[in-house]
Chains A and B, each alone.
Chain A
């Protein structure tokens, strides 16, 4: 006894001084890297290829200084400012300035998205499924999952940052500018990864955590665009957006590094906040605690459609709010189109009259929201896979519910909600435009322009139905197709993608509205294809095993 007591005492002291909040971080980091390796490799390769392709393509498309000067004038259009940035170096538009200006912002968005996804997947998503519980019951510290997730974000961003530098130097950009582009991207990734870590502490569902972080990203974009439209080179409002900080390095034009410090400091502040939140809460809990609910379901909650609506209600409402507000905010950019043309008459010469310019701008804004809504549609439809994997589909199908009817209900809710979101987007854009005194495009025209993309969205979903019916494990491919289509639909013009590549993008076959001379042929063909493929997918789903292995 006399010899044992001091030992016990010593153990206690050691435990007290070493909280072990980070134990197991290294093992978790390796686990996350192993689980996500394919996804991370695909993202890394895509981003590096994009940089290389853009530099080579822009160089061959605009070989002389005169070509680039003309291009530079185009890049001061409001649409370009929204999609790329405030336009540094347009007066002396070198290849470096061009690559930085036309590609930089798109890559920032991609890196922010990747960082958010990576952060949430290894934290809240694992917590939601219960995997974290088993891990934390072992010798894994409270903060280890979040720290491991963030280390993975850091690692990926460092790799992509260094890779970007290598690719850009290889295609002939100045090393200093290339380094700034790589670092700006990496710092943006670090910032939004930290945003993801914080939102993962707030919500109980991974889906809501990602959604919240994406909303922060969207808000940052809107603020950046609104600020940059006020003045070339950005206004004080621009500086309110973290996305502007990376652009303000003026990479390849007049490179300066200190704005990246803001991103790093911001990331550190967010991480401290995340650690505070994570250190106080229970495992599996969010900020909102659950209250007792209904002792009976509402009478309206009966049948497959009602169930699908009930399950997606929260997500549909969140999307409606996001799309509606985002559209109003974006619609207010419309007045700067006519303003810009009056300031720069040569822009009008290049692009046609102001009316056509406003129409083109409206069509691009519509396209932007169509791409978002298509993303909603795909993620909404892919819930069918979760239902199957969690064993719920079996229970539903063991009741007298036909498979066709059940899948039809999911499709009806997905497409119905998509149509509602598209109408909201159209109305929001119109309301935004009218609020700044530009009523040149009517509400109806905006709504019709948005609804003209319904067949394209339906086609995307129909392909997902085919994959789900015949090869359910291949759903990632549909996401890949969507990802490419989203980038190409919004940035296709800037990227100068070849025609055959643009042809695989469903949105490019929709009528170009508002404006005269739109053709509906593509939409009709896509609608027919969507019906045919949807039917084919349902046939596959009727024939296959549930659950599919």
Chain B
């Protein structure tokens, strides 16, 4: 990602060993998170894993019980106001003032940051196809979310904190949102994107941090994480491929009849892919696809096996 405007040398967000309890409930239990300048970072985890709590700590709204957190080089609790000039936040669910119009809410929120770039605001209103003259209470959930999104995206900032920002948006608007995030990243804005829409994370994010029960269970670039798991291979071969099952790193092999010979599908550890391909080449392959592991598989692996 280009970092034309990276004003901070070190990481934009750097949190280590964050802990936070609410009464007897431990919401964060040693969470680590690093986001570098210009990076779009995915933040994944099941409901209640501590994603929103982390973001609120990074905003200085909650005070962590333990661990360290730095945002844009500052302390999120003590330097909250100064840091907030340089970042914007979009919550996933907020009941903004029902008696104000969408436009009034937008202007109020943007003016808290100083003079408003009206053309940027209007362009976003246009792109998200939002009727700003309606009262907030008359908006549907998706339209309410658009107001929060435009308020966050219209600010000129170095860091965007997005907490499930596309909840309630239709697919068309999700695409607009993805364009906006890409443009922001292109300007050098770092983005922390908490989301359950895996396709969105896969399309947008350079890195992914997966949390569970208040703890980071996996973090790295999407490419690195993919290396940890298996690719899905399907091929049509002239010769019988059944013996491939004995190769190292091959799992879930299945063979079906095919007019051109046999159709084989299997999963393979990425490290064992070269050996498999060499073996396949000797079987007279007519057709071959290798699919990298989807984020969904990665995700399910970490979510699913609840200890």
List A residues at the B interface (Cβ < 8 Å): 204, 290, 292-297, 301-304, 306-307, 310-311, 314, 390-392, 394-403, 543, 545-547, 549
Report if B107 contacts A (CB, 8 A): yes
A394 surroundings in chain B (CB, below 8 A): 56, 59, 61, 89, 91, 94
Against A, the Cβ 8 Å flags (1 = close, 0 = not) of B75-114 are 0000011101101110101111101110110111101110
A433, B106: Cα distance in complex, Å: 48
B301 surroundings in chain A (CB, below 8 A): none
Inter-chain contact A399/B135, CB cutoff 8 Å: no
List B residues at the A interface (Cβ < 8 Å): 22-23, 56, 59, 61-63, 80-82, 84-85, 87-89, 91, 93-97, 99-101, 103-104, 106-109, 111-113, 118, 131-135, 137-138, 148, 151, 161
Inter-chain contact B104/A400, CB cutoff 8 Å: no
The residue on A at minimum CB distance from B61 is: A546
A290 surroundings in chain B (CB, below 8 A): 134-135, 137-138
Min CB–CB distance B100 → chain A (angstroms): 7
A390, B93: Cα distance in complex, Å: 9
In the complex with contacts A392-B94, A400-B81, A401-B81, A294-B104 CB distance below 8 A: yes
Min CB–CB distance A384 → chain B (angstroms): 13
A400 surroundings in chain B (CB, below 8 A): 81-82, 84-85, 112-113
Q: 5 shortest A-B CB distances, which residue pairs? A: A297-B107, A293-B101, A398-B89, A399-B112, A302-B111
Min CB–CB distance A208 → chain B (angstroms): 11
B81 surroundings in chain A (CB, below 8 A): 400-402
B134 surroundings in chain A (CB, below 8 A): 290, 292-293
Inter-chain contact A307/B108, CB cutoff 8 Å: yes
The residue on B at minimum CB distance from A310 is: B100
Inter-chain contact B108/A297, CB cutoff 8 Å: yes
B109 surroundings in chain A (CB, below 8 A): 395-396, 399
Inter-chain contact A303/B95, CB cutoff 8 Å: no
A–B complex contacts, Cβ < 8 Å, 13 sampled = A290-B137, A297-B104, A297-B106, A297-B107, A302-B112, A390-B95, A394-B61, A395-B96, A398-B89, A399-B84, A399-B109, A545-B56, A546-B61
Inter-chain contact B56/A296, CB cutoff 8 Å: no
Partner of A545, one of B61, B82, B151, B161: B61
If A297-B106, A400-B113 are given as contacts, then 4 extra A-B residue pairs at C-beta distance below 8 Å, sorted by A number, are: A307-B108, A391-B95, A398-B59, A401-B112
B82 surroundings in chain A (CB, below 8 A): 400
B84 surroundings in chain A (CB, below 8 A): 397-401
Inter-chain contact B62/A545, CB cutoff 8 Å: yes
Inter-chain contact A293/B113, CB cutoff 8 Å: no
B100 surroundings in chain A (CB, below 8 A): 293, 310-311
Inter-chain contact A296/B112, CB cutoff 8 Å: no
B137 surroundings in chain A (CB, below 8 A): 204, 290
The residue on B at minimum CB distance from A313 is: B99
Interface SS of chain A: loop
A399, B111: Cα distance in complex, Å: 9
Partner of A302, one of B97, B108, B118: B108
Min CB–CB distance A376 → chain B (angstroms): 18
Interface SS of chain B: mixed
Inter-chain contact A301/B108, CB cutoff 8 Å: yes
The residue on B at minimum CB distance from A401 is: B112
The residue on B at minimum CB distance from A395 is: B94
The residue on A at minimum CB distance from B138 is: A290
Partner of B97, one of A294, A306, A311: A311
B161 surroundings in chain A (CB, below 8 A): 398
A399, B108: Cα distance in complex, Å: 11
A400, B113: Cα distance in complex, Å: 6
Inter-chain contact B101/A303, CB cutoff 8 Å: no
A38, B103: Cα distance in complex, Å: 41
Inter-chain contact A294/B101, CB cutoff 8 Å: yes
A401, B114: Cα distance in complex, Å: 11
Inter-chain contact A293/B103, CB cutoff 8 Å: yes
A549 surroundings in chain B (CB, below 8 A): 22-23
The residue on A at minimum CB distance from B112 is: A399
A142, B287: Cα distance in complex, Å: 63
Min CB–CB distance B239 → chain A (angstroms): 58
A310 surroundings in chain B (CB, below 8 A): 100, 104, 108
A294, B100: Cα distance in complex, Å: 9
A392 surroundings in chain B (CB, below 8 A): 94-97
B132 surroundings in chain A (CB, below 8 A): 295
A307, B108: Cα distance in complex, Å: 7
A400, B131: Cα distance in complex, Å: 27
A391, B23: Cα distance in complex, Å: 20
A401 surroundings in chain B (CB, below 8 A): 81, 84, 112
Inter-chain contact B135/A301, CB cutoff 8 Å: no
Min CB–CB distance B163 → chain A (angstroms): 10
The residue on A at minimum CB distance from B107 is: A297
> Which one of A297, A306, A402 has the highest number of Cβ atoms from chain B below 10 Å of its Cβ?
A297
> Which one of A390, A396, A398, A403 has the highest number of Cβ atoms from chain B below 10 Å of its Cβ?
A398
A400, B135: Cα distance in complex, Å: 25
In the complex with contacts A391-B95, A546-B61, A296-B89 CB distance below 8 A: no
The residue on B at minimum CB distance from A290 is: B135
Min CB–CB distance B95 → chain A (angstroms): 4
A294 surroundings in chain B (CB, below 8 A): 101, 103-104, 133
A311 surroundings in chain B (CB, below 8 A): 97, 99-100
A204, B135: Cα distance in complex, Å: 13
A395, B63: Cα distance in complex, Å: 17
A397, B95: Cα distance in complex, Å: 15
Inter-chain contact B107/A296, CB cutoff 8 Å: yes
B62 surroundings in chain A (CB, below 8 A): 545-546
A390 surroundings in chain B (CB, below 8 A): 94-95
Inter-chain contact B103/A296, CB cutoff 8 Å: yes
Inter-chain contact B113/A397, CB cutoff 8 Å: no
> Which one of B91, B106, B111, B148 has the highest number of Cβ atoms from chain A below 10 Å of its Cβ?
B111
In the complex with contacts A296-B103, A546-B61, A546-B62, A395-B91 CB distance below 8 A: yes
A118, B99: Cα distance in complex, Å: 24
In the complex with contacts A293-B104, A294-B101, A301-B104, A397-B59 CB distance below 8 A: yes
A398, B84: Cα distance in complex, Å: 6
A400, B59: Cα distance in complex, Å: 11
Inter-chain contact B61/A293, CB cutoff 8 Å: no
Inter-chain contact A399/B138, CB cutoff 8 Å: no
B88 surroundings in chain A (CB, below 8 A): 398-399
Partner of A295, one of B63, B85, B133, B138: B133
A294, B107: Cα distance in complex, Å: 11
A317, B103: Cα distance in complex, Å: 23
A311, B56: Cα distance in complex, Å: 25
Min CB–CB distance A151 → chain B (angstroms): 29
Inter-chain contact B103/A297, CB cutoff 8 Å: yes
Partner of A391, one of B91, B108, B113, B138: B91
Inter-chain contact A396/B112, CB cutoff 8 Å: yes
The residue on B at minimum CB distance from A544 is: B63
B112 surroundings in chain A (CB, below 8 A): 302-304, 396, 399-401
The residue on A at minimum CB distance from B62 is: A545
A204 surroundings in chain B (CB, below 8 A): 137
A306 surroundings in chain B (CB, below 8 A): 108
